Amino acid sequence: MPNQNRVAIAVAPNGGRRTKTDHPALPITPDELADVATASLEAGAAMIHVHVRDHDGRHLLDAEAYRAATAAIRASVGDRLVLQITSEALGLYRLEEQMRVVLEARPEAVSLALRELVPDPMHEAAFASFLETLRVEKVTPQIILYTPEEATYLAALAGRGLIPFDNLPVLYVLGRYTVRQTSRPADLLPFLAPGIAAASHWMVCAFGRQETACVTAAALLGGHARVGFENNLFLPDGALASGNQDLVAATRRAVEACGLALADADTLRGQWGAA
């Protein structure tokens, strides 16, 4: 199967909101993240999406903490996973702090929420300049889109020459971080509707026990999958997953049952480079 058609599975093992009271296997420390990286790689993941925490377990944007987590993960899996950090504010950080931590940490990849980095048109030029710096520094951005309207806005920015990438990888979020949120495969359809600008490389994350169904639907339609404890703790049958690797494995089984092949980390890097 051509590499461009292979499905990449990313694991998002912790996020910035849940704690070990939500699940004892939720990773917090660098060593715990490294263990999850190894297990998720063996289960079929091509990428890990990393959040770090402070000493009290709260969401943190800190270059040193990211370097410690990155070093532990790389010591465990080498380059066999794409390693992506988050720039998510969670209402705790200013826009300038979000951009600064990325430039200081210089990760392989970073997720950027369009609504956070461009809260209004006054921030468009700064966003374009930030993306250009990431391009020069060879940091791959993935733009988080919560609505089809945001996809249209991103395409408009590109059309005006403000995006220094031919076609940025994006992440479509099906649902929101709310109590008992359950995403459904049909939630993807508005992002793929006629008139909505299509990204050449898109990934989907979803909330609740239909996570596997949502990301498998995305894979069948040409997209990629992000799963993990950041958004969901449950297997397709409603059972509590024992760890993030269970969610990766469930996705792998579903995708392969549909006749699709998985991407490894180098294939994903190649897909992003061709985007």
Whether this prediction's pTM lies above 0.85 is answered by yes
pLDDT of residue 177: 62
pLDDT of residue 154: 96
Residues of the chain with pLDDT under 70: 1-2, 176-180, 274-275
pLDDT of residue 1: 67
- Residue 10's domain spans which residues? 3-274
Contact, 119 vs 107, CB < 8 A? no
Q: How many structural domains compose the chain?
A: 1
pLDDT of residue 66: 98
Q: Please report, for the domain that includes residue 131, its CATH number.
A: 3.20.20.70
pLDDT of residue 167: 80
CA-to-CA distance for 50 and 33, rounded, in angstroms?
8
